[in-house]
Structure formats: C-alpha cells, structure tokens
Copies of this chain bind each other. A is one copy, B any other.
C-alpha cells in the first residue's frame, strides 16, 4: 500500500469537524482506499460485482436444501436482473457481471460471460473436485475478467457467487486451511435441518479423508475440495490486488475464496474489505483466519454478493466524507 497517500488521507481525516477516529471503519476504509489506489481521495464510483457460477458434484450426497438445477435457473435470473444482487447493485450504481465458470448445463445469454472450465466439479466425497490445471484455469478466468474491467475503469469489485451446494466445499476449505473442526466450520447453508446438518458434516469428513490435501499448498486444497466458482473468485481477488483495486468480500463462500487467496498471496489481504457477518456459522472463524472484520451484521445468508454490494454504500460514504465535510478551520470549530 502507498504510505504517502495514506498519510495524506489521515491528515485530511484529522482536519475534519469530528473527534479523531470517531467515524471508525469509514475512516479506516478511506485510508485503505488511499493506500490501495495511491491517491488520497480516489474516485470509487465505478463499481461492479462479479458473480461466479459453478456446480458441485457433491450435491449427489444430498447436502443442500435446493436441487442443482437451481444453479442455471438463478444464473438466468441474474442475467435478467431479477435476483437480490441485481436489486442491490442497481441501488448502489454497480454493474453485475455474471460468469459461467463451471455450471453443469449449457447456458446461453447475450449478457453471460461464458468461461466454462468444466461441467461442475466431481464429487469431493469420493475424489478431487478438479485437477490442478483446471483450478489454475478457473483462477485465471477471474483474474482476466478483473484485468479487463480495470482497464475500462472499474476500481471497486465485489465478490459474488452462485452454486447449489457450495457451502460444503467452502466449509471443507475452512477446515483444511483454517484449522477449524467440522463442528465449528459446517453450517446450515440455505437452510437444512439438524439431521441433514449431521449428514453434511459426515460428507465433509469423508471428503477430507478421500482427498489428502497439502494444507501448505492452497492451490492443492482449492483443486481437491473445489469449487470452480470459488477458484474464479480467487482470481477476482488476486486480480484486484494486482491492479490496485479494492475488493469487497461477501459471505461464507466468497470468504473461502479470500482465505485461499490470502494463503497464495498474503499481501492480497490489504486489498480486501470484509462486508458482512453471515449467519452461516463458520463465517466468523473464516474471517478471523483471514484477519478481516466485517461492517454489517444483518444475519444474511444468501450469498450472490448481496452483503458485499450492500456495503458499497459505505465506500461511497467514506469518499463523500473525505470530499464534503467541513474542516475545523473552515467551520470555525474549536479542536479538542
């Protein structure tokens, strides 16, 4: 991060008519944005959420409350503007970019970014989700999309995803990389009952036995435990960091991608902003493992990027505070 720009941002923040630091994370984010972009008051208006979609072979074990055909159905919903993330992105003035990186269906739509690596992952309860080459290719998809968007002016990204069953690979990654127990890491996803939750934990334990992952090799963990949309988001995060853009991390699945990215490139964490604390029970431990602290506590558990897009408002707020607030001097207010 650019320490000169951060010092300039801090000096500006301390000149404004408020006790030093009293706007909390609005100030932290303003300073972080300066460090990332190298500008004391960067223009953060060009924002986008990248929604990566992929399917999961492990769904055949019955780990989700929804059937797998919902993945392509929801992709079409994103493309037609009817999903929650579309509504919130419109409100935030952000673009929605929907990417098929691994949906288990043929999908065609003029707005779809078709970068399918394979038709869903293999069942991790029995074998590796994908090959190391496929994982690398999926990461590259995210990286390249962000590179193109940065070239066209986008400076703030949110991570979004769709993939029925994807809390299962996310929890498996959390156990492998974050060292949590299955009891801590595995939650109810879109809403399964107690019996199905016990079953899901068993499936994840089988996945960790079937796949001998090297926990010091995050790409190995990613390839063996999946999924393709998580790999795509790892690329989004690494691409944002490489191009000095901000990347706002959504909920549990996005944070699994952030955890992988943080192990592949520890400096990438400085480019991340945690948006919300999901109701999914492993999310708290996941964010702690990355070293992030979320801004929104609304018991959301939808994914898609909804929490990340909601917190775009705070980035705009930080930007407006920097530009529009009076200083102690200009307003004639006594400093404490």
A interface with B by C-beta (< 8 Å) = 16-26, 64-67, 69-70, 73-74, 76-77, 80, 82-84, 86-88, 90-91, 190-191, 277, 279, 294-302, 306, 310, 313-314, 316-317, 320-321, 324-326, 330-334, 336
Contacts and interface: CB of A to CB of B under 8 A. Distances in A.
Contacts of A306: 23
Contacts of A300: 22-26
* 5 nearest A-B pairs in the assembled complex, by CB-CB distance: A82-B326, A24-B299, A25-B298, A19-B190, A66-B336
Of the candidates A298, A306, A310, A326, the one having the most CB atoms from chain B within 10 angstroms of its own CB is: A298
A20 B191 contact: yes
Contacts of A67: 334, 336
What is the count of identical protomers in the complex?
2
Contacts of A301: 19, 22, 24
Given A90-B324, A330-B82, A331-B73, A279 B24 contact: yes
Given A298-B24, A331-B76, A324 B19 contact: no
A59 to B, nearest CB: 12
B84 A23 contact: yes
Contact of A310 (B64, B91, B313, B330): B313
A334 B19 CA distance: 52
Given A80-B326, A90-B324, 11 more contacts: A18-B84, A23-B300, A24-B300, A25-B298, A73-B332, A77-B333, A82-B331, A83-B326, A84-B321, A84-B325, A295-B297
B17 A83 contact: yes
A232 to B, nearest CB: 22
A296 B295 contact: yes
A190 B320 contact: no
Contacts of A321: 84, 87-88
Contact of A296 (B17, B18, B279, B297): B297
